[in-house]
Amino acid sequence: MSRFRMPAAVAALGAGLLFTCVPAASAQSAAPLRALADRAHVRIGTAVDMTALADDSTYRATTGREFSSVTAENVMKWEAVEPQRGAYDWTKADALVRFARQHGQAVRGHTLVWHNQLPGWLTSGVADGSIGAAELRGILRRHIIAEVGHFKGRIHQWDVVNEVFDDDGSPRDSIWLRTLGPSYIADAFRWAHAADPGAKLFLNDYNVEGVNAKSTAYYELARTLRAQGVAVQGFGVQGHLGIQYGFPGDVAGNLARFEELGMETAFTEVDVRMVLPADAAKRATQAAYFRGLLDACLATRHCTSFTVWGYTDRYSWVPGVFTGQGAATLLDEDFTPKPAYAAVRDGLAAGRRAVSGA
């Protein structure tokens, strides 16, 4: 045990956890996370960097060994699959799906409709007025039907619409809202469901871990669309946290209200960043945050997966976006497990019965 004083709130969150670093060798000789997750009736997933998967044998082996679900970090986004209008490139996305099949993994599709990482031909056409509302709606429909149809039967869950609200719960300003109005959300779900009725279709966003204005906006949207018969079947909580901001309140209660609507929930992009340099206290707090999110999932009957947004600091997106921050994943840059890995491992080992009392 490290000799430091943990903040009381974090100590309560992580009660019962032993924050000790697990040597890499012992982690690899013990049961992998996916075996523990299977016993807990939840999928443990990771976002996958396809360049690392191709070039780094340790990354490839670890991805296959530890996880029962994979998400394309970038290669299923619109700019990647249709860089030129009408010219689709599924090469890297197909490679991930093949890898998943070879390793007995489910695949989460990410993402069909977003305001970022759109192809230049689309954004420039909307900006200069050469693509109007009717044409844009047709383009969106064709994109969703083409992508979902291409992977029909091979994608377990789709993030259909991603990040459509601001933190205050107001609709996010985007080319979709400005040009098509709010009906694009229902349309996207209808088109995705028609293209693959077997896939579970999710809303997905960040800063919606607890009960707040943004998550309540999603709750009201989901309730309204489901009442209209739209196949909104899941709510994806990204789970991008920073230890400097505190742990979100009432996470389990937030998940529970979506479950009461008849929806699945999932943590879809979990990482926990910190201001660098890392130290023992920060790593312990990080571990408690990972465990807090996982416990909320395991306490919710239909929380079906817990996905981390990358699992090694070697390939984490965080330092490139948040200046001076990082160390956000379960393993360090040398693939050595941190206390966060132990926290997730122990939480999965405890399982749903221990957490929920079921």
Please give the positions annotated as active site. 163, 269
Alpha-carbon span 201 to 108, nearest angstrom:
10
Q: Quick count: other Cβ atoms within 10 Å of Cβ 38?
A: 15
The answer to whether 63 and 102 are in contact (CB under 8 A) is no
Alpha-carbon span 115 to 123, nearest angstrom:
10
Could you tell me what percentage of the chain is helix, strand and coil, using 3-state DSSP and rounding each to the nearest 5? Answer: 45, 20, 35
163 is written with which tokens?
């990040």
Alpha-carbon span 336 to 312, nearest angstrom:
9
Amino acid at 276: L
Cα separations in angstroms, 39 against 31, 251, 299, 303? 11, 23, 15, 14
Amino acid at 312: T
30 is written with which tokens?
């013990």
